[in-house]
Amino acid sequence: GDSVTQMEGPVTLSEEAFLTINCTYTATGYPSLFWYVQYPGEGLQLLLKATKADDKGSNKGFEATYRKETTSFHLEKGSVQVSDSAVYFCALLYNQGGKLIFGQGTELSVKP
Amino acid sequence: EPEVTQTPSHQVTQMGQEVILRCVPISNHLYFYWYRQILGQKVEFLVSFYNNEISEKSEIFDDQFSVERPDGSNFTLKIRSTKLEDSAMYFCASSEAHRYSGSSYNEQFFGPGTRLTVL
Per-residue pLDDT of chain A (112 residues; tens, 9 = 90+): 889 999 888 999 999 999 999 999 998 888 899 999 999 878 889 999 998 899 999 999 999 999 999 999 999 999 999 999 999 999 998 765 588 999 999 999 999 9
How far is residue A23's CA from residue A25's CA, in Å, rounded to a whole number? 7
Task: Please list every residue in chain B whose beta carbon sits closer than 8 Å to the beta carbon of residue A51.
Answer: 100, 105
Per-residue DSSP letter, A79:
S
The answer to whether B44 faces chain A, any CB pair under 8 Å, is yes
B40 → chain A, closest CA residue: A104
Beta strands A11-14 and A106-111: pairing type?
parallel
Give Cβ neighbours of residue B26 (< 8 Å, ≥ 6 apart).
B2, B3, B4, B94, B96, B109
